[in-house]
Chain A
């Protein structure tokens, strides 16, 4: 406040070099304006949207300059709010990926979230409801194997093992019990 007539009327901005500051009239709070490129916040302590870091080192004392969201190539540059501005947690994973860095398949999908081509990334588990334990919809992340009922085969638990029948029972498959003398194999 330059109108008080004391030596302390004007004080340096509590902002990084290059930024300016101003006083909010109502609250008398000092706020930085024109923060350095890529940063924002009352003290230029935050990263702009699409970036993450800790430009002033407020969390743990280590300065981490603002960097682009690191989401394994599984975000869309046309989206907003792709990652948490402080810790970088990915918030808008695409191609059916999930996880802190969009680095694994989301529930109900399997494959390699880090594959270069979107088509090779995460595929639906598509577990057969008849052959899968508790009608689960999730499967093994890597192999895509669904958890099958007894004597049920295939990745998606969609068929009986050889020598078994009646997948439709919903309790697994039953032994055929064919008479070895009258059967062809």
Chain B
């Protein structure tokens, strides 16, 4: 495989971080086209944790913890560009509001959630209380909601707020262990999480509060992303991306990269932006 930046072919892909690189697997329908998997970005000295995708400019954004920073690159073959390189300690999860052109991230050492424009300007702290191990963060731009998970072993929780940080509420606090992964599927209005402690994958409708188990006895999930009927998660036990059929409640496929090392964040790179608008997009 070529190092540097490899252009992606059109279509929907999975992007995931593996140590010093971002790999991708094209999707054919919901199937991972494993033979066509290749690294899109090679940054051998970095440890990339969070990955998010901006469908408007076709950019992948990532957090990195060795020289704590947030960077981006166009997946059609652009140079990696640093977006934020100061005032970070351990940036982990990252989420993109493609409508409002902002990004949100968690910092597990500063124990807060920040927001900034996609170019790094207009940066401010959104949430800085009652966070111990914030990791996954997800934006639902169409409804203006933000979701995040805190894997604090003493009191793990999944929370939500509006995208300006107001109206903060705990959505889930019972029967959680290490909720590492979080994803939101706007079509079914389901917020799903993968828990490395309870070893369960569960979903809920954040508006209605009904909670359901998708799958039990999963191994060690870190990141997750939803696409249609499937949920894909990165697994620290198998060093692989696992496809889960949400409706059949089973693991339907797995992709194990040649190099055996931990996989971190994962994101769906849509061929086209999901339809939707929000009130902030004109600002």
* Residue B211 at the chain A interface, CB threshold 8 Å: no
B133-A42 in contact (CB<8A): no
**CA–CA, A22 and B2, complex, Å:** 6
When the two chains form the complex, which single residue of A37, A40, A79, A81 contacts B20, counting CB atoms closer than 8 Å?
Answer: A40
Interface centre among A26, A33, A46 (most CB of B within 10 A): A33
* Residue A49 at the chain B interface, CB threshold 8 Å: yes
Minimum C-beta distance from B28 to chain A (A) = 25
When the two chains form the complex, which single residue of B44, B47, B109, B196 contacts A42, counting CB atoms closer than 8 Å?
Answer: B44
**CA–CA, A45 and B194, complex, Å:** 33
Q: A38-B261, A46-B45, A49-B47 are in contact. Are A78 and B19 (CB under 8 A)?
A: no
| Residues from chain B with Cβ under 8 Å of A24 in the complex | 3-4, 42
Minimum C-beta distance from A33 to chain B (A) = 6
Minimum C-beta distance from A83 to chain B (A) = 12
| Residues from chain A with Cβ under 8 Å of B1 in the complex | 22, 33
* Residue B268 at the chain A interface, CB threshold 8 Å: no
Number of interface residues of A (CB under 8 A): 26
Minimum C-beta distance from B224 to chain A (A) = 15
* Residue A41 at the chain B interface, CB threshold 8 Å: yes
Which residues between 63 and 82 of chain A lie within 8 Å of chain B, taking CB atoms?
A: 76, 78-81
Which residues between 2 and 45 of chain B lie within 8 Å of chain A, taking CB atoms?
A: 2-4, 19-20, 39, 42, 44-45
A48-B45 in contact (CB<8A): no
B259-A34 in contact (CB<8A): yes
Which applies to chain B's interface (DSSP): helix, strand, loop or mixed? loop
* Residue A35 at the chain B interface, CB threshold 8 Å: yes
| Residues from chain A with Cβ under 8 Å of B258 in the complex | 34
A80-B109 in contact (CB<8A): no
When the two chains form the complex, which single residue of B44, B66, B109, B153 contacts A31, counting CB atoms closer than 8 Å?
Answer: B44
* Residue B208 at the chain A interface, CB threshold 8 Å: no
When the two chains form the complex, which single residue of A33, A40, A42, A79 contacts B108, counting CB atoms closer than 8 Å?
Answer: A79
When the two chains form the complex, which single residue of B79, B178, B260 contacts A37, counting CB atoms closer than 8 Å?
Answer: B260
* Residue A50 at the chain B interface, CB threshold 8 Å: yes
* Residue A32 at the chain B interface, CB threshold 8 Å: yes
B109-A92 in contact (CB<8A): yes
Q: A41-B44, A78-B196, A80-B92 are in contact. Are A48 and B262 (CB under 8 A)?
A: yes
Across the two chains, which residue of chain B brings its CB closest to A48? B261
